[in-house]
Chain A
Amino acid sequence: MTAERSSSSPPQPVVRCAGLEKSYGRRPAIRNLNLTIDVGERIALFGENGAGKSTLLQLISGLLRPSGGGIRVFGGQPWGGEGARARAQIGALSHQSHLYEELSARENLALYGKLYGVADPHARADALISEFGLAGRRVDPVRTLSRGMTQRVSLMRALIHQPALLLLDEPETGLDATSRERLAQHITEEEAGVTVILATHNIEMGVSLTTRDIVLRNGEIAYDSASLGEQAADADRRRDEVTRRLASQAR
């Protein structure tokens, strides 16, 4: 299904998928997906379990190589050695923490800060740790942190290099109310130019933090609010529409 955005897009979109396909063995996870995401868009990605949300985020982050079609992120392929330039601008939070349990939160963040070329990785790590309320545990090994604290460190890891594209896969998992609030601030109060793709089952949260809704079904785009010209629709309408689309899938 096609969900190409028309009109006055900037010359180079952040993400462009054309006929994108990904299969695991014989099982297709993403099917003929066409999608263009422009600079500064904030997108909520909805869908039932197995709809292809995580797979799409992993394809964009360069963790997966497409089985067919094409994907360009910041104008280049995101995977392999050639994808380093694109990946340098992506911050991704997935279901796994991507952290080293033997290292402290500060050491984990500094490690990734160095790999992303952050100018002063320790100072940046300290600033994030304070912001997310973990200053008291910053030197404790990650294995001693609670689930929610680990999720906070994972989120900081995704933010360490102030990415231009933020991929968040169910970021609310395990977060307390305060941390969810901080996450919301990060998503909504970004300066212009930061693009966010948020995969979630929480329709309320997804709609409140983003400006465009995409519903995936069996690896295809079943609904894209942008293609229907509803980008500016109010939150209640968006929520109702997403709920309706998801409910029609369940039937």
Chain B
Amino acid sequence: MRRPQHASPPGYFGQIRILLAKEITVEFRSRETAIPMAVFAAAALIAFQFSFDLRGGTLNLVAPGVLWVAIIFASLLALGRSFARESERGSLDGLLASPIDPGALYLAKAAANVILLVALEAVIIPLAAILFNLQLFQPALLLALLLGNIGIASVGTILAAISARARAREALLPIMLLPLLVPVIIGAVRATALAIDGGPWDDIQPWLAILAAYDLVFLTVSSLLFYVTVEK
């Protein structure tokens, strides 16, 4: 073998880009997560539609909660698989033994989970609009969805990494995640309800700000602490 050319490894954002491309390719090939997520969320929306009497004034009160419950529970499928798959196959060790920054790995995984959630919502928002006869394609609501997705992915990704090596990871992840998601649930549901009601931007904005602050804090702290969660 010839002596290298010790080229320098890519920078932080280059690592994120390479790892994110890998995440998308692997998911696209396996369809292990996206399809079960979409089917689960659609089934949940349909079940809610038949379970509650969603007419008149109750519709606007209940629909945002129903929508976010479907998204959050579907997200557990994606989050649960994101590190379990790597752990089972040993590919996580391959990445951690490479010259990447563990924080870049976290951010790539979180970005992949956000993309999965956006893809999920591309399916279930039109379905919810039809089922609940609501105008859901509004900028404020779409922004709430995006910020909510980032919130779910930011905290969910690091908890998925923590639970991936546990024996009872399927139970552990929701037990750890759902309490930590309470601020996201509150902010996202309130922002969604106001957007559906056609509320003024000034009323919606504080809830979006809470979501944005939550996202920023968890993304920053998690990317810095990620190595601690995966080190052995």
Contact, CB under 8 Å: A80 / B1: no
Measured CA separation A141–B29 after assembly (Å): 10
**B26 and A118 form a contact (CB under 8 A):** no
B196-212 toward A: CB 8 Å interface, digit per residue (1/0)?
00000000000000000
- Give 27 pairs: A residue, B residue, CB < 8 Å, sorted on A: A84-B101, A87-B98, A89-B6, A90-B97, A94-B90, A95-B90, A96-B89, A98-B91, A98-B97, A99-B94, A100-B22, A102-B26, A102-B29, A103-B22, A111-B18, A111-B22, A115-B99, A116-B99, A117-B6, A117-B8, A118-B7, A119-B7, A161-B7, A162-B4, A164-B4, A164-B6, A191-B3
| Interface status of B167 (Cβ within 8 A of chain A) | no
Secondary structure class of chain A's binding surface, majority of residues: loop
| With A115-B9, A115-B18 already in contact, 13 other A-B pairs whose C-beta atoms are closer than 8 Å | A63-B97, A63-B232, A79-B231, A81-B101, A97-B89, A98-B90, A103-B29, A115-B100, A118-B5, A161-B4, A161-B6, A162-B1, A164-B6
Produce 1/0 per residue, A154-183, CB < 8 A to B.
000101011110000000000000000000
In this assembly, does B51 line the interface, its C-beta being within 8 Å of a C-beta of chain A?
no
Residues of B within 8 A of A62 (CB): 96-97
Of the residues B9, B22, B93, B94, contact of A117 by C-beta under 8 Å: B9
| CA A189 to CA B3, docked complex, whole Å | 11
Residue numbers in A under 8 Å from B95 (CB-CB) = 115
Contacts of B133 in A (CB 8 A): none
Interface flags for A131-150 (1: CB within 8 Å of B; 0: not) read: 00000000001000000000
A64 CB within 8 Å of chain B: yes
Q: Which residues A100-126 have CB closer than 8 A to chain B?
A: 100-103, 107, 111-112, 114-119
Distance in Å: Cβ of B135 to nearest Cβ of chain A:
39
- Chain A's interface size range is 35 or more
- Nearest opposing residue in chain B for A92, CB measure: B97
Interface residue? B156 (CB, 8 A): no
Interface check B25, CB cutoff 8 A: yes
Q: Point out the residues of chain A lying under 8 angstroms from B99, CB to CB.
A: 84-85, 87-88, 115-117
Q: How far is the CA of A112 from the CA of B30 in the complex (A)?
A: 20
Q: A63-B96, A97-B90, A115-B99 are in contact. Are A186 and B7 (CB under 8 A)?
A: no
Select which of B6, B8, B94 is within 8 A of A112 by beta carbon.
Answer: B94
* Interface 1/0 per residue, A59-81 and B, CB below 8 Å: 00111110000000000000111
